């Protein structure tokens, strides 16, 4: 049947059903058909050729807006926490307590909260696209490609949710009826670049490309890479572990509407507060742990000033050989290790290890540039590794809760780690063959 029709029978049946509906409507409804604003916009946004380029262009513009608009607000937060840290150091007599307040609290929490503006900007832009009715049309545009590559059309919404946070994205797969389609979507959802990874992209892209369009484009490429890998892995899973065809997808498109500021801000806050809750609990706790490991033993590290004598340095050098082929040092190894607890911790860890995270992000960037750890090639590979490797511990717990299977949870963790090493290795290897260092 597929050879005869050239398309999946269920897709053809759905198209013919709506052709019959349109014919019946044209016969029973009199009067000249007038093109509405929705018809005109849909003719462009749902176009078979233009639909996907428009979607990718809007996605690129979204991340350029996120990176550029948030810069002034990030600078204000940096100055604020730097001011607090300076007050603590000047007014607390006990050296260890002063280090805890300045280095542990102000620098640790400040180096994470500095990325609240870009995260809220991202959620604000996504809320506008959702409220105006475009996201549903993006799902419609992507359905044909997703179907051919082994993903259910309804998977688009959970995957888009993954851009905000993988946890609600994984939970949103409950709307998929087929167990096979649902499992595939759960397994590839961590490849969607959640907002927790955005701080890492902003920092590293700023280090290796500076400010401007190059950094924003590098961030955009991370999101495109995540989408491409999700599609490729879904295709691989469909042809190996979950053989069969995804079920057909029928979607009722909402009307185009002008988003209101109130509804957009509500949606932005509902999603953004999850990040704030993580920053106030998991992230803050991990940053205190990292501070403790950087200053202990106190006498040997001189209160954290001699980082090479610290506990965290010993641990980092022990696992450094795993990442050395990529050109990353022990600090990168430590940042990736603690990033398993929460991806935002990668940035906070660098802030504490380099001694400037909470005072000023520019100081962290300058220290990274001076260290020579990241070249454009190794920095881009590091961003890709952060994109792919194990999602945060909360996402892993959600995978277990939604699959109710230790086997699938461990499989998700294992294949993502392996894929991260493979992709980062390919980036480094191809880049060096092309003459990059």
Q: Tell me what pLDDT residue 292 has.
A: 78
Structure confidence by residue, pLDDT tens digits, 11-40: 566 667 767 777 787 777 666 666 677 677
pLDDT of residue 302: 63
Q: What's the mean pLDDT in 262-285?
A: 73
In a domain, 355, yes or no: yes
Asked if residue 65 is part of any domain, the answer here is yes
- 142-156 confidence digits (pLDDT tens): 666 666 666 656 666
Q: Which of 291, 331, 322, 267 is nearest to 126 (CA)?
A: 267
The larger pLDDT score, comparing residue 70 to residue 366, is at 70
pLDDT of residue 278: 62
192 is a domain residue = yes
Taking only the tens place, the pLDDT of each residue in 294-344 is 777 776 666 556 667 778 888 788 888 888 888 888 888 888 887 877 777
CA distance 13 to 249: 11
Quick one: 341 exposed, middle or buried, by C-beta within 10 A (0-12, 13-18, 19+)?
A: middle
The answer, yes or no, to whether residue 350 has pLDDT greater than 90, is no
Q: Categorize the per-residue pLDDT at 357 as very low, low, confident or very high, splitting at 50, 70 and 90.
A: very low
What pLDDT, on the 0 to 100 scale, is given for residue 193?
84
Does residue 25 fall inside a structural domain? no
Q: What is the pLDDT of residue 215?
A: 74
Question: What would the two tokens of residue 338 be?
Answer: 């603690």
Give exposure, 98-128, as e/b (b: 16+ Cβ within 10 Å): bbbbbbbbbbbbbbbbbbbbbbbbbbbbbbb
Q: How many helices (H) and strands (E) does the chain have?
A: 24, 0
Domain assignment present for 24: no
Higher pLDDT, 255 or 187: 187
Domain count, the chain: 1
Question: Of 101-115, 181-195, 283-297, 337-351, which one has max mean pLDDT?
Answer: 181-195
Average pLDDT, the chain: 76
**For the segment 193-204, what is each residue's pLDDT rounded down to a tens digit?**
877 788 788 888
* Better-scored residue on pLDDT, 159 or 332: 332
Which has the minimum average pLDDT: 112-116, 191-195, 224-228, 266-270? 112-116
pLDDT at 411: 93
What 8-state DSSP symbol labels residue 341?
Answer: T
The answer to whether residue 23 sits within a structural domain is no
Query: Average pLDDT for residues 115-129, to the nearest whole number?
Result: 78
Q: Indicate whether 17 belongs to any domain.
A: no
Note down the domain range covering 411: 46-246+264-433
Angle at 201 between CA 200 and CA 202, to 5 degrees: 90
At 246 the pLDDT is: 53
Instruction: Give yes or no for residue 418 having a pLDDT over 90.
Output: yes
Task: For residues 227-239, give the mean pLDDT.
Answer: 85
For the ranges 6-10, 158-162, 227-231, the maximum mean pLDDT occurs at: 227-231
Q: How confident is the model at residue 260 (pLDDT cuts 50, 70, 90)?
A: confident
The verdict on residue 8 lying in a domain is no
Across 86-90, 230-234, 352-356, least confident range:
352-356
Q: Measured between alpha carbons, how far is 196 from 226 in angstroms, rounded to an integer? A: 14
Q: Residue 8's pLDDT is what?
A: 56
């Amino acid at each position: 049947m597929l050879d005869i029709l050239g398309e999946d029978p269920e897709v053809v049946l759905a198209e013919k059903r709506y052709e019959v509906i349109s014919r019946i409507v044209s016969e029973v409804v009199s009067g000249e058909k007038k093109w509405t604003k929705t018809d005109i916009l849909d003719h462009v946004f749902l176009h078979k050729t233009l639909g996907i380029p428009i979607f990718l262009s809007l996605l690129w513009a979204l991340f350029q807006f996120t990176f550029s608009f948030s810069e002034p607000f990030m600078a204000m937060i940096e100055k604020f926490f730097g001011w607090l840290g300076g007050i603590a150091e000047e007014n607390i007599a006990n050296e260890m307590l002063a280090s805890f307040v300045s280095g542990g609290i102000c620098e640790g929490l400040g180096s994470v909260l500095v990325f609240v503006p870009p995260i809220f900007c991202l959620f604000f832009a996504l809320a506008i696209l959702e409220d105006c009715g475009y996201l549903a049309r993006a799902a419609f545009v992507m359905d044909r490609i997703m179907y051919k590559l082994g993903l259910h059309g309804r998977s688009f919404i959970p995957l888009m949710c993954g851009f905000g946070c993988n946890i609600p994205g994984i939970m949103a797969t409950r709307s998929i009826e087929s167990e096979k389609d649902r499992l595939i979507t759960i397994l590839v959802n961590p490849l969607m670049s959640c907002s927790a990874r955005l701080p890492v992209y902003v920092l590293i892209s700023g280090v290796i490309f500076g400010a401007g369009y190059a950094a924003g484009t590098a961030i955009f490429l991370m999101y495109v890479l995540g989408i491409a890998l999700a599609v490729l892995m879904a295709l691989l899973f469909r042809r190996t572990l979950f053989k069969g065809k995804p079920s057909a997808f029928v979607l009722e498109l909402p009307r185009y509407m002008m988003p209101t500021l109130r509804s957009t801000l509500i949606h932005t806050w509902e999603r953004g507060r999850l990040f704030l809750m993580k920053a106030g609990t998991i992230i803050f706790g991990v940053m205190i742990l990292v501070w403790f490991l950087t200053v202990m033993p106190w006498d040997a590290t001189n209160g954290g000033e001699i980082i090479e004598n610290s506990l965290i340095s010993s641990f980092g050098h022990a696992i450094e050989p795993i990442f050395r082929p990529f050109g990353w040092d022990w600090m990168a190894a430590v940042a990736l290790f603690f990033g398993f607890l929460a991806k935002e911790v990668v940035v906070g860890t660098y802030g504490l290890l380099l001694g400037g995270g909470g005072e000023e992000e520019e100081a962290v960037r300058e220290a990274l540039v001076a260290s020579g750890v990241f070249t454009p090639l190794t920095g881009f590979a590091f961003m890709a590794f952060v994109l792919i490797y194990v999602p945060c511990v909360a996402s892993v717990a959600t995978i277990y809760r939604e699959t109710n299977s230790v086997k699938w949870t461990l499989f998700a963790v294992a294949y993502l780690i392996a894929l991260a090493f493979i992709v980062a290795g390919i980036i480094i290897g191809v880049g060096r063959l092309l003459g990059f260092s």
